[in-house]
């Protein structure tokens, strides 16, 4: 008897999940959770990109200044006096870190979007108000289904 590898156990559990019938409510809950996670990742990415833009503006503003010139930097809510030569490398390092974090968040967001799309395909999920392919309605038909306002 061969010992099972973790990969084999993982494959079996994945296969088991696919064959088990999942309730409609469980699918909806999973779908809503995934969409909320995608929204959170978009918000976080926008926040990080804004911060990156601010860092770039500051770096561009001080890079040509005299290295011994005084500048002030906000660190943890405290305004600290430094010189340009002290501040510029720290800002550059922070900028590199922000770029790396943005790349990782982008990968996570893309993976979550793929999960959402897979769930949509697998369970034929459509969000109210979304027009899917082949669902386009002509102006005549749209007017006929809208009703009359008196």
Question: Has residue 121 got a pLDDT over 50?
Answer: yes
| Residues paired with residue 78 on neighbouring β-strands, in sequence order | 75
| Residues 87-110, mean pLDDT to the nearest whole number | 98
Say how many C-beta atoms besides its own lie within 10 A of residue 73's C-beta. 14
Percentage of residues in the chain with pLDDT exceeding 90?
Answer: 66
Count up the domains in the chain and report the number.
Answer: 1
Residue 45 lies in a domain: yes
Better pLDDT: 57 or 135: 57
pTM score, two decimals? Answer: 0.70
Domain that holds residue 71: 23-125
Up-side HSE of residue 13: CA atoms within 13 Å toward CB? 7
Residue 89 lies in a domain: yes
| Residues 5-21, mean pLDDT to the nearest whole number | 45
Could you tell me the CATH number of the domain that includes residue 114?
1.10.287.370
Residue 1 lies in a domain: no
Residue 8 lies in a domain: no
Residue 4 lies in a domain: no
Question: Has residue 31 got a pLDDT over 80?
Answer: yes
């Amino acid at each position: 008897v061969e010992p099972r590898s973790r990969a084999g156990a993982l494959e079996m559990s994945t296969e088991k999940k696919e064959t088990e019938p999942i309730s409609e409510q469980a699918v909806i809950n999973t779908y809503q959770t995934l969409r909320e996670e995608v929204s959170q990742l978009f918000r976080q990415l926008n926040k990080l990109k804004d911060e990156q833009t601010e860092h770039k503006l500051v770096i561009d503003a001080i890079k040509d200044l005299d290295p011994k010139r005084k500048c002030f930097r906000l660190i943890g809510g405290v305004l600290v006096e430094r010189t340009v030569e002290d501040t510029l490398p720290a800002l550059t390092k922070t900028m590199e870190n922000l770029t790396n974090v943005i790349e990782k968040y982008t990968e996570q967001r893309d993976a979550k979007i793929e999960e959402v799309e897979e769930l949509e395909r697998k369970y034929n999920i459509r969000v109210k108000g979304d027009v899917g392919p082949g669902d386009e309605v002509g102006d005549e038909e749209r007017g006929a289904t809208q009703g009359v306002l008196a």
